Chain A
Amino acid sequence: MYDVIIIGAGVSGCAIARELTRYDCSVCVVEREEDVCCGTSKANSAIVHAGFDAQPGTLMGRLNVEGNRLMYEWAKDLNFAVLPVGSLVVCVNDADRPGLQALLERGVANGVPDLRIIERDELLEMEPNISDEAVAALWAPTGGIVDPFGLTVALAENAAANGAEFRFNAPVSAIERAGKAWQVTAGGETLLTRTVINAAGVYADELHNRFVELSTGSDTLQASMTVAAEPLSIVARKGEYYLLDTTAGRHVRHTVFMLPTAMGKGVLVSPTVHGNLIVGPTATDVDDKEGTNTTPAGLAEVASKSSLTVKNVPLREVITTFAGLRAHQAAHDFVIGEMEGAPGLFDCAAIESPGLTSAPAIGVMVSGLVADALGLSAKPDGAFDPTRPGVVNLVMTSFDEWDELCQQDPAFGNIICRCCRVSEAQIVDVIHRMPQPRSLDAIKRRTGATMGRCQGGFCTPKIMEILERELGMAPEEVTKRGPGSELVVGHNKDRIATPGVRQEGGEAR
């Protein structure tokens, strides 16, 4: 019997798992995909929002500002990439200035520090490529950019190091009562647990609605926050993006948002922690919760909107496009708490933007709710290690330091991904960490390999070889992103009958 089963290994689920391992309890994270960070957490703007967007008094507003503060703090212990580049909300029309002022006041009410409205001159100095139309901007120095994969992996690795279990390729097919406990069927296995946390991203409504079915209304709740036993509907809101080469990475220096106008919402233009430039997203509600395909209309919209705030975005430097799905819910606030009439079932649902920024605060909050409900006590001093070793980033390493790394491990001198400077040593390092990456994309999320301008053209076969060697896999078993996404299907001529040679089960031809 587990104390806690968390459904979903996205950034919320992993943050909750990590925070729960501070307590003396057993935690298991079940995930339908083959790795952490495979849904909403992997395909988004990768922004650390300052916290001026959400309405004051909402959970979203509170957790955003708190998450922002914790993000920078946790990066020191967990060694993921975050850069406090600051963000700008650009006003392109004098008539819209009241909107800028309102945003400032909202941010102040939410407790966002150091907000200030800047005029065109100062803006131009900060962002030489800002649009000629820009008249003023809201400057939020606590805004930043983060590696969403690095963050989620760091949380998962730290959780695992402190005792959390992870089960992958384990979609939840049933949740039932089992006396005072709960029975979760995931990936064909039946698991017993005292509590269940729904961190299922775009599918969190399905789990929530199952919780509602299981609710009796008469059970006594333990947690201080509750969720009404009423159905929830989450819509997959698609956001499409362009990612530009590092040659365009300095086109803007801060995250540039557009102040929404009567004409609609613009797109953001921002550097990324990997040195690229990201432009997007769109916001289109789609029926298919697996609909992470890009569309001609969506990509055209991003291209045309990019110029509303920033001049001459060099779209010829595009190296890839992608789409992500936000877990949008009509009330537009996070749904966190214990289900009314179902003690032990916890929602962490409708985590849409600024969900990534809020993740650390969500982790603290939800783990606290569960700990209170179960009466968990903190582990003794020293039993919880809050630190997680980082993965070497050779882009940020001086030649002297790199030379020393090569003395310790010559594999640091064997470059596998030339675009992103990832050596064999880093890939081997991450392969032997838990939770264990087993696919090309899992390696990408941890090291950045294949993310560069050639998009894996040169390094894919090399990474496949390393995976085969380190994990004892056959070439046909190596996947891009889990079962069904095998990279090669066989070997040369394996289905060609050689004249005169008897084939298995057939006559010679």
Chain B
Amino acid sequence: MSKTIEQRAIVVVGGGPAGLAAAIAAHEAGQTDVLILERDTQLGGILNQCIHNGFGLHTFKEELTGPEYAARYEQRADELGIERRLGTMVLDISEDRVVTAVSATEGITQIKAGAVILAMGCRERPRGALATPGYRPAGVYSAGTAQRLVNIEGQLPGREVVILGSGDIGLIMARRMTLEGAHVACVSEIMPYSGGLKRNIVQCLDDFGIPLLLSHTVVDIEGRDRVEAVTIAEVDDKLRPIPGTEVRYPCDTLMLSVGLLPENELSREAGVELSPVTRGPVVDQSLQTSIPGIFACGNVLHVHDLVDFVSQEAAAAGANAARYVSSGCKEGSDSRGVPVSAESGVRYTVPSFVDVDAMDDTLTVRFRVANEYRNRYVSVYLDGERIQHRKKRVMAPGEMEQVTLKKADLAARKGLAKITVKLEEE
């Protein structure tokens, strides 16, 4: 580039809940030279279209709407005078932390960052990724796109709705569409359990008499121009549709809530190692990725259930990034620490590595389980020895779980080679 490269201590990519909390925490940790790059024209990310309440129960001990939750963080960022560039889309992050972005006001700009915090969030899995057979008419919407049309634009995407997938956005949209005057025929979920929070099933489906069809999926989409009907069939334990169970639902809209994917195109291009399970970066206890000085938090790291946990995690990333910069951006050692292994029923853990010397007194390890479980124990092993064993009545893939590791426990074990988190029947 012919323009000069700007120097900043910390660049945060994304101004949603993760980016905001990370920037604030970095600033509060003493690193005041923080810049947020946000592609939208306002901060807050996807919270802006989440006009329902239920946010912030953990953080603020009250029920806020999405925009209200975001506003609390924006206000704090304003108080601290944290600089943000809106309408600015990051195009590239290099391994040596040069961030290239474009905006209508500045054109292309390049910034050399002491530390980069990845906070790009996630996107919805589209219909195409499911390879659902049928036509490709108008009226097939991912739930988040429909949510934007309804909640931001005031436009109704359809009147007779079938929802495929029971992710939280789909559940929320079942209620929203009903409140706006549409009829929601059912929510069909291919798995034998819901992908969303229990409270959303109760408050968004049960309270409105909307049936949840577990172990059912859409096997055909009719309508050349606009959706005219979908066919739903029951699936067997290998998730294959069972012939003879098909039911046709005349409708004008099929809404999809079939999973969220961390948006890691920039991370991949930068060379950050990604986990095939979460599709997010593989991080250590400081939420640092495989590239020193590049940190990750929020839904770009792994898809969360509650925004409160996004904020907590992002705050840790922000503080760690600030520490990294103030300690002179030193390259870490070759070893990333002790590996954390996810086993029997635990799909993954964040972080994947723990550097015991560098960790705080306690460390939250978040994970999701692979199935619906009742009365299982969450166990933590240091090498062969079990140090935690806690019974949980119900665990489900839709809800995030966590364990807390104590530095004292880990440091006490000489030559620790592996930390294991797993589910046990007894």
Interface residues, chain A, CB within 8 Å of chain B?
A: 242-243, 247, 290, 292-296, 298-299, 318-322, 399-400, 402-403, 406-407, 410-415, 418, 421, 424, 453-458, 460-461, 475, 479-496
Q: Which of A247, A290, A457, A475 touches B144 (beta carbons < 8 Å)?
A: A457
Expressed in whole angstroms, the minimum distance between the Cβ of A35 and any Cβ of chain B is 13
Q: Which of B131, B136, B241 contacts A242 (CB 8 A)?
A: B131
Tally of B interface residues using CB under 8 Å = 55
Q: Determine, out of B101-109, B288-296, B384-392, B409-417, the stretch whose residues face the partner at the interface.
A: B101-109
Nearest-neighbour CB distance to chain B for A104, whole angstroms, equals: 36
Among B110, B131, B157, which residue has the most Cβ atoms of chain A within 10 A? B131
- Distance between A456 CB and nearest chain B CB, rounded to angstroms: 7
Known contacts A292-B135, A400-B1, then 6 further A-B pairs from the complex at CB < 8 Å, ordered by chain A residue? A319-B126, A321-B133, A403-B1, A412-B104, A454-B142, A492-B180
Closest to B180 in A: A492
Q: Kindly identify, within residues 1 to 42 of chain B, every residue whose CB is under 8 Å from any CB belonging to chain A.
A: 1-3, 39
- Find A406's partner among B108, B129, B142 (CB 8 Å cutoff): B108
Given A413-B103, A457-B142, A461-B148, are A294 and B181 neighbors across the interface (CB < 8 Å)? no
Between A and B, 5 residue pairs with Cβ closer than 8 Å are: A242-B131, A318-B131, A400-B1, A488-B158, A489-B157
Q: Which of B124-140 contact A (CB under 8 A)?
A: 124, 126-129, 131, 133-139
Select the stretch in B218-226, B299-307, B350-358, B397-405 that faces chain A: B218-226
Residues of B within 8 Å of A298, CB to CB, are: 133
Which residues of the partner chain A approach B418 to less than 8 Å between Cβ atoms? none
Q: Which residues of B contact A412 (CB under 8 A)?
A: 102, 104
In the complex, the chain A residue whose C-beta lies closest to that of B120 is: A418
Is B52 located at the chain interface by the 8 A CB criterion? Answer: no
Collect the chain A residues with CB atoms within 8 Å of residue B220's CB: 293
- CA A9 to CA B148, docked complex, whole Å: 35
Kindly identify, within residues 323 to 346 of chain B, every residue whose CB is under 8 Å from any CB belonging to chain A: none
- A493/B102 contact (C-beta < 8 A), A321-B131, A403-B108 known: no
State in angstroms the CA–CA spacing of A421 and B89 once bound together: 10
Contacts A403-B107, A461-B149 given; does A454 touch B134 at CB 8 Å:
no
Q: Mark B97-127, 1 if CB is under 8 A from A, else 0.
A: 0001011111110100000000000011011
Tell me how far the C-beta of B112 lies from the nearest C-beta in chain A, rounded to whole angstroms.
15
Nearest B residue to A316 by beta-carbon distance?
A: B129
- Please report the C-alpha to C-alpha distance between residue A293 and residue B231 in the assembled complex, in whole angstroms: 14
Structural contact, A475 and B153, CB atoms closer than 8 A: yes
- Check if B154 is an interface residue, CB within 8 A of chain A: yes
Q: Please name all residues of chain B whose beta carbon is closer than 8 Å to the beta carbon of A292 when the two chains form the complex.
A: 135-136, 224
Does B65 interact with chain A (Cβ within 8 Å)?
Answer: no
* From A293, A403, A415, A481, contact of B138 by CB (8 A): A481
Tell me whether B134 and A294 are in contact (CB under 8 A): yes
Q: Name the distance in Å between B289's Cβ and chain A's nearest Cβ.
A: 18
Contact mask B59-103 → A, CB, 8 Å, 1/0? Answer: 000000000000000000000000000010101000000001011
- How far does the Cβ of B422 sit from chain A's closest Cβ, in whole Å? 26
A498 to nearest B CB, angstroms?
11
Given A290-B224, A402-B107, A480 and B128 contact (CB-CB distance below 8 Å): no
B128 adjacent to A318 (CB under 8 Å): yes
Q: Are B142 and A482 in contact (CB under 8 A)?
A: no
- In the complex, the answer to whether A410 meets B100 with C-beta atoms within 8 Å is no
Q: Which of A424, A457, A494 contacts B181 (CB 8 A)?
A: A494
The verdict on A484 contacting B105 (CB below 8 Å), with A294-B133, A399-B100 known, is no
In the bound complex, residues from chain A placing their C-beta under 8 Å from that of B219 are: 296
CB distance from B305 to the nearest CB of A (A): 20
A486 partner residues in chain B, CB cutoff 8 A:
138, 226
In angstroms, Cα B133 to Cα A292, docked, is: 10
Contact of B225 among A242, A243, A458, A482 (CB under 8 A): A482
- In the complex formed, the residue of B with least CB distance to A317 is B129
A440 nearest CB across to chain B (Å): 8
What residue of chain A has the Cβ atom nearest to residue B124's Cβ? A457
A294 to B148 alpha-carbon distance, docked (Å): 29
B366 sits at the interface (CB 8 A): no
Specify which chain A residues have a CB less than 8 angstroms from the CB of B89 in the assembled complex: 415, 418
Q: How far is the CB of A432 from chain B (nearest CB, A)?
A: 19
Which of chain B's residues have a CB closer than 8 A to the CB of A475? 153, 155
Partner of A413 from the list B105, B153, B181 (CB cut-off 8 Å) is B105
A406 touches B102 (CB 8 A): yes
With most chain A CB atoms within 10 A of its CB, the pick from B110, B137, B268 is B137
Does the CB pair B107–A457 fall under 8 Å? Answer: no
CB distance from A415 to the nearest CB of B (A): 5
- Judge whether A480 and B138 touch: CB under 8 Å: yes
Q: Does B145 contact A (CB under 8 A)?
A: yes
Residue B407 is within 8 A (CB to CB) of chain A in the complex: no
Kindly list chain B residues whose C-beta atoms are within 8 Å of the C-beta of A322.
136
Q: Which of A318, A320, A414, A418 contacts B104 (CB 8 A)?
A: A414
Q: Which of B169-202 contact A (CB under 8 A)?
A: 180-181
Task: Report the minimal beta-carbon distance from A485 to chain B, rounded to whole angstroms.
Answer: 4
Contact B225 A454 (CB under 8 A): no
Nearest Cβ on chain B to A287's Cβ, whole angstroms: 15
Q: What are the 4 tightest A-B residue pairs by CB atom distance, in nearest-first order?
A: A320-B128, A406-B107, A480-B138, A455-B126
For residue B242, CB closer than 8 A to chain A, the reply is: no
**A24 vs B252: C-alpha distance when bound (angstroms):** 49
B157 near A480 with CB under 8 A, answer no
CB distance from B119 to the nearest CB of A (A): 15
> B110 — which chain A residues lie within 8 A by C-beta?
399
A461 to B268 CA separation, bound complex (whole angstroms): 27
Q: Which of B102, B139, B221 has the most CB of A within 10 A?
A: B102
Rounded to whole angstroms, the CA-CA distance of A424 and B110 in the bound complex is 21
Give A412 to B2 CA distance when docked, in angstroms.
18
In the complex, are the beta carbons of B123 and A454 less than 8 A apart?
A: yes
Q: Which residues of B contact A415 (CB under 8 A)?
A: 39, 89, 102
Question: Given A488-B155, A492-B156, are A456 and B150 neighbors across the interface (CB < 8 Å)?
Answer: no
How far apart sit A299 and B153, CA to CA, in the bound complex (Å)? 36
Output the least CB separation between B123 and chain A (Å): 5
Q: Report Cα–Cα, A298/B133, bound state, in Å.
A: 9
B159 located at the interface, meaning its Cβ lies under 8 Å from any Cβ of chain A in the complex: yes
A484 lies within 8 A of B226 (CB): yes
User: Does the CB pair B127–A492 fall under 8 Å?
Assistant: no
Q: Are B145 and A410 interface neighbours, CB within 8 A?
A: no
Residue numbers in A under 8 Å from B150 (CB-CB): 492
- Of A319, A460, A484, the contact of B129 (CB 8 Å cutoff): A319
Query: What's the nearest-Cβ distance from chain A to residue B392, in Å?
Result: 31
Q: Are B39 and A492 in contact (CB under 8 A)?
A: no
